[in-house]
A and B are shown apart, each in its own frame.
Chain A
């Protein structure tokens, strides 16, 4: 009996169910977002390095970089950066709790996942509102 083969010649064996099979659950969504925000912060670290080096280089270059950051697209990126940082932080706290073997029952997992998402969004909005009100 001949087996089905893909274009590359590999045997097409059945695969275990993957992401698209499952209904999104809150803990699964938060787990995926934890990795995505982590990767975003990885590249976002360039923004911090850029800002710091601009301040070190001199007033003219700093004004140029500050101009980019305070433009509308710049602000949107920084808003996203703030949320990614806080979301990853909340996910980290959740993992600290799980590391101590607490909160591993389904109700707690759901609650911790939901609350970390709510807090990250609320804190991001609160920080940006506070900065705007203070100026």
Chain B
């Protein structure tokens, strides 16, 4: 039996006060991705056809490593937010939606973790 008053039940169920966060973080990461994405295109184009030693040296260098780490964090945040919207738009079943949103989070974090590991190993590993 519920002993609470209707007011007590309704309290704290309102706005979570983060309604604009999704929109804003999508824009913040988009600005970062604009510059870092152009940098990635330039980096990959400059390394096209290069041998292993050159690629390893380039990717592990301080400037490239830091910019790549920033790109990975910003891009995976951005794509996680974007795919969340796609899932919310098209997946109508409540159970399937939760599974897809979970998978989206795991995928974005997996891509980020693998890429960050690679950059750190290229920077600090032997």
**A contacts, CB < 8 Å to B:** 35, 38-39, 41-42, 45-46, 48-49, 52-53, 55-56, 59, 62-63, 70, 82, 85-86, 89, 92-93, 95-96, 99, 127, 130-131, 135
Contact indicator per residue, chain B 48-83, by CB within 8 Å of chain A (1) or not (0): 110010011001000000001000000110010011
Bound form: Cα–Cα A62–B47 in Å: 13
Q: Dominant SS at the A interface?
A: helix
User: What is the 8 Å Cβ interface bit string for chain B, positions 93-126, against chain A (1 contact, 0 not)?
Assistant: 0000000000000010001001101110110010
Find out whether the CB atom of B125 lies under 8 angstroms from the CB atom of A49.
no
Q: Are A42 and B48 in contact (CB under 8 A)?
A: no
B34 at the interface (CB under 8 A from A): yes
Which residue of B34, B83, B119 is within 8 Å of A89 (Cβ)? B34
CB distance from B118 to the nearest CB of A (A): 4
Whether the pair A82, B55 counts as a contact (CB closer than 8 A) is no
Looking at chain B, what size class is its interface with the partner chain?
A: 20 to 34
Q: Which B residues form the contact surface with A (CB < 8 A)?
A: 27, 30-31, 33-34, 37-38, 40-41, 45, 48-49, 52, 55-56, 59, 68, 75-76, 79, 82-83, 86, 107, 111, 114-115, 117-119, 121-122, 125
Contacting residues, chain B, for A63 (C-beta < 8 A)? 52
Contact call B115/A49, Cβ cutoff below 8 A = yes
Known A55-B118, A56-B118; judge A41-B79 contact (CB<8 A). Answer: yes
